[in-house]
Amino acid sequence: MGRLRTLFARLSALFGKRHMDADLEAELRAHLDMLTEKNVGRGMNVDEARRTAMRAFGGVEQTKENFRRQRGLPFLETLLQDVRYGLRMLAKNPGFAVVAVLTLAVGIGATSAVFSVVDRILFRSLPYPQDERLVSFGVTAPFESREFILSPDYVEWRNRPTPFEAMTSVYPGTVDCDLTEHNPVRMICGQADANFLSTFRIQPILGRSFTRDEERPNAPRVVLLSYGFWRARFAGDPQIVGKSISLDGRSTLIIGVLPADFEMPTLARADLLLPLALNESTVRDPTTPQLVLRAFARFKPGVTIEQAVAAMQPLFLESLNYVPPQFRREVSFRMRSLRDRQVQDARASSWILFGAVLAVLLVACTNVANLLLARAAGRQRELAVRAALGATRGRLARQNLTESLLLAVVGGSAGCWLANLLLRLFVSIAPQGIPRLEQASVDLRVLVFTLGVSLLSGILFALAPALHTPAPELLMGRESRATGRTLLRQTLVTAQIAVSLILLAGAGLLLRSLWNLQSVPLGMETESVLTAEIALAEYRYPRSAQQLAFFRDLEARLQRVPGATSLAMSDSLPPSGGMQASFLSSIEIPGRPKLAEGTGGMIGYRFVTPGYFPALGVAIARGRGFREDDRMPGENPVILSEALAKQLFSNEDPLGKQLRFGSDNGPWRTIVGVAANVKNNGLAAPADPEFYLPWKDDREGYFRIVHLIVQTPINRLAIAQWIRSEAAAIDPTVPVTIEAMRQRVGKLAARPKFNAVLLSIFAGLGVLLAAIGIYGVVGFLVAQRTQEIGIRMALGASPPAVLRMILSHVARWVFAGALLGLAGAWLSSRVLESLLFEVRAHDPWLLGLAVAILLATAFFAAWLPARRAMRVDPIVALRYE
Amino acid sequence: MPPSKAEVLQGTLDLIVLKTLDTLGPLHGYGIAQRIQQVSEDLLHLNQGTLYPALLRLGQRGWITSKWGVSENNRKAKFYSLTKSGRKQLAVEAGSWERMAAVIARMLTGAEGA
């Protein structure tokens, strides 16, 4: 209390000093006067009385000094004094200040912007209490690399003893659902087990969670609203709980509202949350379809992942008994932390970008350190004077540190502003699928990080000049040799070059990998191909007959597309994945035994109209493509991809052979053609073998999403417009997403492109900063050696020889830096390996190119100021002495 | 030879000032200095200037307040007076001083007895 009060009193004493000084002066004078008066009263003469009074009082100035020290905050006052002085120094040399602040702003700004993105991915805790105890678990299989669990297993495991405090599950992915009231809207619904909220310890802000009763088949429908939906649709109505909405045409009771920071553990969007009704899908019976679920659990305190995996092993082995024998070897159990599950492959690239931007920051700090060293060289006289007047080494270092921190804070503030801009830029060029990117913002946490980085860098680059105390001899006015300092500066430049080379090599690898990815042969046409995705709402088209009728109608209307060379419909589109899939083992060929064990790998298939092959430009290698009469009810033709034909028949001629697939003893199909291989698993992953079936009207099963493919040389916009209007003529509520094929393919490379672009920007910045550093040091070197150069020239050295001398000097530390950088790049490129496509991490050509670029830049940066050495006039240089 | 004057013990000046103000009421710095000399019968050596930082410190703690007034011989002077919390502090410090003095006295007599 007293201490706080003292601090406050001292703080307020920082203002109105003049008044307080006058006050003290008057008080002390009164004291002395009274003392003198008393002495006079004792019979002394005035002079003596005054002297005695002064003696009794002790030093007046000393008292004032002590008084002032007690009055204010000397530490703060010195600081303010240093800051004022530092600001004056910066103002006196605005060029230096601008360059230093800009350099820092770029370094700190870029670092903060990247931090604000990767923080959400790598560091910040998930929006669930005690998120470190949450895991995702399940089995993986050849057709699904992310862990999942089948509904019967889930219910069985949930009732058994596990290392978990609680276990829950959600429906994977998203489900469209429609709000069918006035202003109908398409929304995305999540589905979760009744214990979902309690397992994740999420409290609804209004209302309650689901109950087990609400999962029953004929229970009244209930729903939880997301915060955003509640605000947008119901204006945050606090009385919303207990009201009903019409969802997919059924009245649904609102039982609660989720908190604002709620998110599904799968990171899927969810406007509404519905109970996950497992019902009959939990029965182990080959005829009832089982649901694929994503399971999550909360550990009991103190349980580790290894222990939990071991504890779950018996349950997993038990469930394996229900897996068809040929799958068993390809199914395995997996458990990982929720964060790992969410960020997946974003982790590696996040660390790489963060590392890269920290490297840029390091180069920026080094540059500023170099600038400060150069300035310190110019200020040696001043510092020597201060030292001679009694400033201690500590006091000088403090002054130095204050000035550096001043720079850091100014640079950091500018960096903050820049970070905001850069973040907006990142978000606008970022591809889909970077987890939580839309949440990234320069918030308090990022600001604290920025401040920390600024101060740390301030201390970092202040260290270099602070290591030197000026020698008193400097007072004599002679230029010092200051070799130690030059050595330090060269070391800094060497480090910059090394770091820049590592960045450059990394960027080169990513760019090369991107190039490979974008020029990968797709086996199909992407130019002048337009695609349209049409998704039918399940509640409007619940039966496949209705779905087929819609598309039959659409196809008939589209026959008249003006200017389309060919048009096709398919249930999936290459080169992205997502086609229907089966196993090689499920393909049966007459006269051959089935595969003895294992699945033989995945085989994809699509339903296509005859226009598919010409519209996508997929070549028919043998036989023929589909014809219209292949779609008649009795016809069962099939076309294989070359890869599948080779796998099934090796060198035999497949044409005319028969096969059937699936466990349901489907019809025998005759192979009528072999089509060229097409990338069908994304750009990087190897393609799966596939086969094509004709799009027929009598097909069973779901058919809600269809892709239209139009090959057209003319105006795409007009065609797009036309497709939309034809679809709307049948049903105006059906959404149509139109995209050029080239765009679709481009999206597949968007992530690598984003990484490559960012890393290239950072590498460019690093090289630029290093070049500025070299420029500065060489300029300083030339200025320092002017006399020596003058003498050499007077003795007959030619200007080119002088240039060579300077450059060969530069070459030593540039090559040292390049060597260090090569070693660093060699080691660090291994980190990049997971992001590379068809490039070796140690590609010698790329490394060589990076070295060449760096050396060229370095020598250019050195050559600019070194030219000045050539122009040194010996007479002038010698007279300078 | 006259007995050498004792220096004011570190930390005791605060107590002395508080006690003086408690006894005499509002007083200026000169008055406080005179009082200390008088009570100590000139045995205590005090650089009168050191009073002022001490007065400032006590003011910052909120134990005393000051305001300008006119002295008995019509001179403008700053008068210091004890606050409520200053009075409390005086009680605390006096108590702890007495305990301390008692302990030291016992130590000294004990040492003599041994």
Is the model more confident about A645 or about A89?
A: A645
The pLDDT value given to residue A863: 86
State both tokens at B64: 């005393």
Q: Does B28 touch chain A (CB under 8 A)?
A: yes
Q: What percent of chain A has pLDDT over 90?
A: 12
Q: How far apart, in Å, are the Cα atoms of A67 and each of A20, A62, A842, B30, B55? A: 11, 8, 69, 16, 9
Contact call for B29 and A31, based on CB within 8 A: yes
**Residue count (chain A):** 881
Mean pLDDT on A825-843 = 83
How far is B82 from chain A, CA to nearest CA, in Å? 15
* Highest mean pLDDT out of A294-308, A774-788, A833-847: A294-308
Q: Return phi, psi of residue A629, to 5°.
A: -75, -10
Contact state of B53 with A69 under an 8 Å Cβ cutoff: yes
Express each pLDDT in A213-236 by its tens digit. 888 878 888 999 999 989 988 888
Dihedral through CA A102, CA A107, CA A108, CA A111, nearest 10? 150
Exposure string of B27-42, with b = 16+ CB inside 10 Å and e = fewer, is bbbbbbbbbbbeeeee
Residues of A with CB under 8 A from a CB of B: 2, 5-6, 9-10, 23-24, 26-28, 30-31, 33-35, 37-38, 56-60, 62-63, 66-67, 69-71
Q: Using the predicted structure, report yes or no on whether residue A483 has a pLDDT greater than 60.
A: no
* SS (HEC) of A274-335: EECCCHHHHCCCCCCCCCEEEEEEEECCCCCHHHHHHHHHHHHHHHHCCCCHHHHHHCEEEE
Q: Do B53 and A57 touch (CB under 8 A)?
A: no
State chain A's maximal CA–CA distance in angstroms.
Answer: 141
Per-residue pLDDT tens for A635-676? 889 999 999 999 888 888 889 888 888 765 678 889 999 999
The predicted structure's pLDDT at residue A675: 93
**DSSP-derived 3-state class of residue A138:** strand
The residue-averaged pLDDT of A150-157 equals 88
Q: Which of A5, A30, A70 is opposite residue B56, by nearest beta carbon?
A: A70
Give residue B2's pLDDT: 44
User: How far is A77 from chain B, CA to nearest CA, in Å?
Assistant: 18
In this predicted structure, which of A236-245, A381-390, A530-539, A634-643 has the lowest mean pLDDT?
A: A381-390
Nearest residue in chain B measured CA to CA from A13: B60
A637-641/A669-675 β-pairing: parallel
| Closest CA–CA distance from residue B12 to any residue of chain A (Å) | 17
B5 and chain A: CB distance < 8 Å anywhere? no
Q: Cα–Cα–Cα angle for A509, A513, A516, nearest 5°?
A: 145
Q: How far is A446 from chain B (nearest CA, A)?
A: 39
Confidence category of residue B113, pLDDT binned at 50, 70, 90: very low
Q: Is B48 on the interface with A (CB under 8 A)?
A: yes
**Which residue's structure tokens are 């065609």?**
A719
Angle, CA A278 vertex, CA A273 and CA A281 arms, to 5°: 145
Residue of A nearest to B72 (CA): A34
Residue B10, chain A, CB below 8 Å: the answer is: no
Instruction: Determine whether the interchain pair B76/A26 forms a contact, defined as Cβ–Cβ distance below 8 Å.
Output: yes
Contact residues on chain A for B47, CB-CB shorter than 8 A = 56-58
Using the predicted structure, report yes or no on whether residue A478 has a pLDDT greater than 60: no
Residues 6+ apart with CB under 8 A from A413: none
Question: Which one of B37, B56, B75 would you mutate to disrupt binding with A, by most A Cβ within 10 Å of its Cβ?
Answer: B56
Report the pLDDT averaged over residues B63-79.
86
- Note the pLDDT of residue A295: 92
Check if B44 contacts A (Cβ < 8 Å). Answer: no
| DSSP code, position A262 | -
Q: Is pLDDT of A587 > 80? A: yes
The C-alpha atoms of residue A674 and residue A668 are separated, in whole angstroms, by 17
Q: Is the CB of B49 less than 8 angstroms away from the CB of A70? A: no
Report d(CA B49, CA A850) in Å as an integer.
Answer: 73
Residue of B nearest to A4 (CA): B61
In terms of average pLDDT, the best of A323-327, A590-594, A646-650 is: A646-650
Cis, bond preceding A575 (omega within 30 deg of 0): yes
Q: Which two tokens stand for residue A768?
A: 């630029």
pLDDT at position A298 is 93
Type of residue found at A496:
Q
Task: Copy the structure tokens of residue B57.
Answer: 């410190």
Beta bridge partners of B70: B76
CA distance A703 to A55: 107
- Considering only CB atoms, A30 lies closest to which of B53, B59, B75, namely B75
> How many other CB atoms are there within 10 angstroms of residue A120's CB atom?
22
Q: Cβ contacts (< 8 Å) between B71 and chain A: which residues? A: 30, 34
Mean pLDDT of A856-860: 89
Element (H, E) at A9: helix A2-12
Q: Using DSSP, state whether A368 is helix, strand or coil.
A: helix
Nearest by CB: B75 against A33, A58, A69: A33
- Nearest Cα of chain B lies from the Cα of A26 at a distance, in angstroms, of 8
Cβ of B30 within 8 Å of Cβ of A31? The answer is yes
Residue from the list B30, B53, B61 with its beta carbon closest to the beta carbon of A34: B30
b/e map A21-44, b = 16+ CB within 10 Å: eeebeebbebbbbbbbbbbeeeeb
Hey, is A31 helix, strand or coil? helix
Nearest CA in chain B to A35: B30
Q: Higher confidence at residue B33 or residue A537?
A: B33
Q: CB count, 10 Å around CB of A638?
A: 24
Please indicate whether residue A78 or residue A854 has the higher confidence score (pLDDT).
A854
Does B45 lie at the interface with A, CB-CB under 8 angstroms? no
Share of chain A above pLDDT 70, in %: 94
pLDDT of residue A349: 83
Could you tell me the pLDDT band of residue B114, with boundaries at 50, 70 and 90?
very low
3-class DSSP string for chain B = CCCCCEECCCCHHHHHHHHHHHHHCCEEHHHHHHHHHHHCCCCEECCHHHHHHHHHHHHHHCCEEEEEEECCCCCEEEEEEECHHHHHHHHHHHHHHHHHHHHHHHHHHHHHHC
**Cβ within 8 Å, pair A57-B49:** yes
Contact B60 A31 (CB under 8 A): no
Distance from CA of B76 to the nearest CA of A (A): 7
Residue A473 has pLDDT above 60, yes or no: no
Cβ contact (<8 Å) for B73 and A24? no
Q: Which value, to the nearest 10 degrees, does the dihedral of the CA atoms of residues A417, A418, A422, A423 take?
A: -30
pLDDT of residue A818: 92
Q: Give strand pairing partners of A245.
A: A252
Query: Which residues face B35 on adjacent strands?
Result: none
Tens digit of pLDDT for each residue in A18-62?
A: 788 888 888 888 888 888 888 888 888 888 888 888 888 887 888
What pLDDT is attached to residue A692? 92
For A484-512, what is each residue's pLDDT tens digit? 556 777 888 888 899 999 999 989 988 99
> A557: part of which helix (H) or strand (E)?
helix A544-558
Residues of chain A with Cβ-Cβ distance to B59 below 8 Å are 9
- For residues A194-214, give the mean pLDDT: 90
Which sign, positive or negative, has the C-alpha torsion A6, A12, A17, A22? negative
Give the pLDDT mean for A712-729.
83
As a whole number, the mean pLDDT across chain A is 83
> What 3-state class would DSSP assign to A246?
strand
The alpha-carbon gap from B56 to the nearest alpha carbon of chain A, in Å, equals 7
Q: Suggest the residue from B27, B35, B60 to mutate for an interface test with chain A (most A CBs closer than 10 A).
A: B60
- How far is A256 from chain B, CA to nearest CA, in Å? 55
Give the integer Cα–Cα distance in Å for A733 and A744. Answer: 24
The B residues from 54 to 73 touching A (CB cutoff 8 Å) are: 56-57, 59-62, 71, 73
Query: Residue A440: exposed, middle, or buried by beta-carbon count in 10 A (0-12, 13-18, 19+)?
Result: buried
| Exposed e or buried b per residue across A705-733, where buried means at least 16 C-beta atoms within 10 angstroms of its C-beta | ebbbbbbbeeebeebbebbeebbeeeeee
Mutate to test the interface with A, among B13, B17, B27, B30 (most CBs of A within 10 A): B30
C-alpha A607/C-alpha A569 separation (Å) is 8
C-alpha distance from B7 to closest chain A C-alpha (Å): 14
The whole-number pLDDT of residue A37 equals 86
DSSP tag of A579: -
Residues B50, A59: C-beta atoms closer than 8 Å: no
* Residue given tokens 């209390």 in the structure block: A1
**Alpha helix locations (H) across A379-392?**
380-388
Distance to chain B for A82, nearest Cα, Å? 26
Residue B3 is predicted with a pLDDT of 45
What is the count of residue pairs from A and B with beta carbons less than 8 Å apart?
72
Residue A232: CB atoms within 10 A of its CB come to 12
Eight-state DSSP code of residue A346: H
pLDDT of residue A256: 93
Per-residue pLDDT band for A700 (boundaries 50, 70, 90) equals low
Residue A69: closest C-alpha in chain B: B53
Q: Which residues of A touch B49 (CB under 8 A)?
A: 28, 57-60, 62-63, 66
Helix (H, G, I), strand (E, B) or coil at A10: helix
State the pLDDT at residue A565. Answer: 76
Of A5, A23, A30, the CB nearest to B60: A5
ipTM score of complex: 0.84
Q: Which of B30, B59, B60 is facing A35, going by the closest CB pair?
A: B30
pLDDT at A501: 92
Among candidate residues B35, B29, B23, B5, the one with its CA nearest the CA of residue B94? B23
DSSP 8-state code for residue A880:
T
